Every structure is written in C-alpha cells, then in structure tokens.
Amino acid sequence: MLGLSPDLLGAAGFDGYLKLFNPAWMQMLGWADEQLRSTPYIELVHPDDRDATLRIIEGLVAGGTVEAYVCRILHTDGGHRHILWSGQGSPGDGCFYIAGKDITERQRLEHELALRADKLERSNAELQEFAYIASHDLAEPLRMITAYLQLLQHRYGGRLDETADEFIGYAVGGAERMKALIDDLLAYSRIGSHEMQCDRVDLGELLHAVLLGLQQAVGERHARVELVEPLGSVGGDRTQLGQLVQNLISNAVKFHSGEDGPPVVTISTAQDADGVRIDVTDNGIGIAQGHQERIFKMFDRLHGRDEYDGTGIGLSLCRRIAERHGGRIWVESELGTGSIFHVWLPSA
Ligand code: ADP
C-alpha cells in the first residue's frame, strides 16, 4: 500500500534520522535508499527553512501534530521541491510519522498567477492614470481655445464674410464636442481611480434628483418619464449610480425619432433573492439584435452625430459602474419598437 502512494510517507526518528520511508521519497527527490537512511533529515531541508522546521519538529517530539506545513526539500539535481507536510509525534515510538505532498508545481503556478495579476493591476493603474492625466490636461488648453473662439464669434461674427462665420461656427462646434468627449472620458476614468463609497441609496430619491437635472433635455423633447414606485433601495456609490441611471434615461429620451408621438420612458425595479434589477423602458428607435452587445463598447455608436449627438462613452461608463458594483447591464430591444435597459445590482 505504502509503495503505491505518490506522497512521501515515513517515520522520522527523534535521533535525527529517517527510520521508515516509502519509494516515493526516491522517486520524488532522487535520493538512494542508503543516502536517505544515513543523512540527518534536517540536512535535506533548505537552509532558510531549517529554523522553522526545527521548531515544528520540537512540537512533534513533544507528541504534538502538524498540518499543512510547507518547507523546501533538496533534490539530488540540486534544486528543491516544495513539500506540504502533515505529521503526528509519537514519543512512545521515539519518532514522528509524516506525510508530504509535492506542491512545487502548484506553488509555481500560484506564484506566476500572482505575478501576472500584479502586472495586470499595475498596467491597468498606469492606463487609468494616463487616461485621467491626458483628459485632465487636455481640458485646460481646450478651455482657452473655446474662450477665444467664442470671443471671435461675438466680436467679429457678421463683420467678416459669410464663409468666415461658417468656419468659426465649425471651430466652436468642434471645441464643444471635444469638451463633451473630455468630460465623458474624465468621468469614465474617475470610476476606476476614485474610492467607491458604499451608501444605502434610495432609488426613488436618486431618480427624482436625476430627473431634476435632466429637466431641459426631457422638456425639449416633450418626453414623459414615469417612475413606477416603490423603487426600493440598493447598496452602492450614490454618485456613480446617479451617473448610470442618468445616462440610461437621457439615452432613452434622445434615441427617439419623434415621429409617433413623444418619448415615453418608464423606470421600474424588481427585487430578487440576491439583488435588485432596474429596468429603463423606452418607446424609441430600438437596437437591432446584432448590435445589442457592441453598444456597450467605448466610442461605439450606431448613428452619426448629425442624427443623434453624443460621444459613445455613456454606455461603457454604465457597464463599468454596474460591474464595479458586482452587477451587470444588458439590453432587450427590437428595432423600431423600443428598448429595455436592465441593470442588476447585488443587494450587499
Ligand atoms: P452616446 O449616447 O453618446 O451615443 P452611448 O454609449 O450612451 O453613447 O450609446 C451608444 C450607442 O448605443 C448610441 O450611439 C446608440 O446608437 C445606442 N443606444 C443607446 N441607448 C439607446 C436607446 N435607448 N435606444 C436606441 N439606441 C440606443
């Protein structure tokens, strides 16, 4: 039986020498039977692990047990194997019984995984910082460009020829679009770089506040936004959740042809065992089946700016917020009929 075990099994004498060991010792470590018998076992332990191992042995000699102790054992090839030990002291027999599992490969993989995770985290953080600094530093010169363009427009509008007015108009439009892009990019990078708050957020209160901020957009399109109360509450970052629903509602109002009456947007929630689902339903232009995933990617838009204004960042921001809360976002939609954006957030 002992001969079949791939793990190290043995009895180690209190005199410092192995008394019994199964064939796994030879296979795993390369040592010959005679060498194992005649070498003090502490010499097989990596010099850096010896002190800790001697302390463990002291406990075993006193009749104690050990579980899940890891130390490095010398292989005849000069390398070391990481062995996970468990053992039981037996003062009556003058030895302790031990079983050891080779976890070298597991440890190597764990180490590699940790290194990769660390590298990924660092490159993510660098990217995050880059996006933040780039957008933050771009905002300043842009403010200046916009200010002087507007000055040109006010002072010289109508005093140059028509083409000049047109050119200045394009330049002002471009600067405004760039400002919208930078603001959205900054909001996006802040989601990752800022500490998340964990508030108990009353969804009714949150939506009322968001709608107040959207009054102009809603009014301009004669839209009707209905809240199906009670909406309940959810744990999360109030500011981020506000951004999430604000993006969904402003999209619901915006992506509407205006042909068959005004936009109607309904917001309701449904509680399940693990969390809450927020549904934003609109009667807008809808999204074809094949595009329902790509709209959540950054800069992905299904329409030109001449049709519907925007930066293409809103939904990727929504997805990022939902995922940072441990939730998810998806859409159900039919072209020409309308869309329902679902956000599920865990209750914790
Ligand atoms: P933006 O609104 O700035 O274009 P988003 O990331 O918010 O960017 O949306 C990406 C694209 O998804 C939009 O350009 C639009 O094509 C589509 N979309 C988003 N919301 C809706 C909606 N409620 N109805 C129809 N299409 C939508």
Index of the ligand 1 atom closest to the CA of residue 311: 3
What whole-number distance in Å separates Cα of residue 103 and Cα of residue 84?
A: 7
Residue 61, pLDDT score? 95
For residue 157, the CA-to-ligand 1 centroid distance in Å is 35
Residue 206 clears pLDDT 70, i.e. is over it: yes
Please state, for a pLDDT cut of 90, what percent of the chain lies above it. Answer: 80
Closest ligand 1 atom to residue 285 Cα is 25
Band (158; pLDDT cuts 50, 70, 90) = confident
Q: Report pLDDT for 130.
A: 84
Count other C-beta atoms under 10 Å from residue 39's C-beta: 15
**How far is residue 146's CA from residue 143's CA, in Å, rounded to a whole number?**
5
Q: Which atom of ligand 1 is least distant from the CA of 303?
A: 16
**Where residue 2 falls among pLDDT bands split at 50, 70, 90?**
low
**Which residue's alpha carbon is nearest to atom 25 within ligand 1?**
286
CA separation for the pair 281, 265 (Å, rounded): 6
How many A from CA of 314 to the centre of ligand 1? 8
pLDDT tens, 48-76? 999 999 999 999 999 999 999 999 999 99
**How far, in Å, CA of 171 to CA of 150, rounded?**
9
pLDDT tens for each residue of 271-327: 998 999 999 999 999 999 999 999 999 999 998 888 998 999 999 999 999 999 999
- 321 Cα to the center of ligand 1, angstroms: 16
With a pLDDT cut of 70, the percent of the chain lying above it is 99
CA distance 238 to 207: 11
Task: Find out whether 302 and 335 touch, Cβ atoms under 8 Å.
Answer: no
The answer, yes or no, to whether residue 216 has pLDDT greater than 90, is yes
Q: How far is the CA of 305 from the centre of ligand 1 (A)?
A: 11
Query: Residue 228 C-alpha to ligand 1 middle, in angstroms?
Result: 23
Nearest residue CA, atom 16 of ligand 1? 302
Give me the residue label for tokens 């930078």. 182
d(CA 339, CA 321): 20
Which of 38-47, 92-101, 190-199, 241-250 is least confident? Answer: 190-199
Q: How far apart are CA 75 and CA 287, in angstroms?
A: 63
- Give the pTM: 0.71
Atom of ligand 1 nearest to the CA of 302: 16
More reliable by pLDDT, 124 or 166? 166
The residue whose CA has the least distance to atom 14 of ligand 1 is: 301
Q: Which of 179, 282, 295 to mutate to test the pocket of ligand 1 (most atoms within 8 A of CB)?
A: 295
pLDDT at 134: 83
Ligand 1 centroid to residue 74 C-alpha, Å: 62
Contact, 281 vs 343, CB < 8 A?
A: no
Give the per-residue SS3 of the chain.
CHHHCCCEEEEEECCCCEEEECCHHHHHHCCCHHHHHHCCHHHHECHHHHHHHHHHHHHHHCCCEEEEEEEEEECCCCCEEEEEEEEEEEHHHCEEEEEEEECHHHHHHHHHHHHHHHHHHHHHHHHHHHHHHHHHHHHHHHHHHHHHHHHHHHHHCCCCCHHHHHHHHHHHHHHHHHHHHHHHHHHHHHHHHCCCCCEEEEHHHHHHHHHHHCHHHHHHCCCEEEECCCCCEEEECHHHHHHHHHHHHHHHHHCCCCCCCCCEEEEEEEECCCEEEEEEEECCCCCCHHHCCHHHCCCCCCCCCCCCCCCCCHHHHHHHHHHHCCCEEEEEEECCCEEEEEEEEECC
What's the CA-to-centroid distance between 183 and ligand 1, angstroms?
A: 17
Centre of ligand 1 from the C-alpha of residue 181, in Å: 15
What residues line ligand 1, using a CB cutoff of 6 Å?
A: 247, 251-252, 255, 282, 284-287, 295, 301-303, 310-316, 339
**If you measure from the C-alpha of residue 118 to the centroid of ligand 1, how many angstroms do you get, rounded to a whole number?**
35
What pLDDT does 237 receive? 95
Instruction: Provide the b/e sequence for 270-283 (b: ≥16 CB within 10 Å).
Output: eeeeebbebbbbbb
Contacts of 111 (CB under 8 A, 6+ apart): none
The answer to whether residue 1 scores a pLDDT higher than 90 is no
Average pLDDT of span 114-142: 88
Q: How confident is the model at residue 259 (pLDDT cuts 50, 70, 90)?
A: confident
**pLDDT value of position 225:** 97
Average pLDDT, the chain: 93
Shortest-distance atom of ligand 1 to CA 315: 6
C-alpha 340/C-alpha 286 separation (Å) is: 9
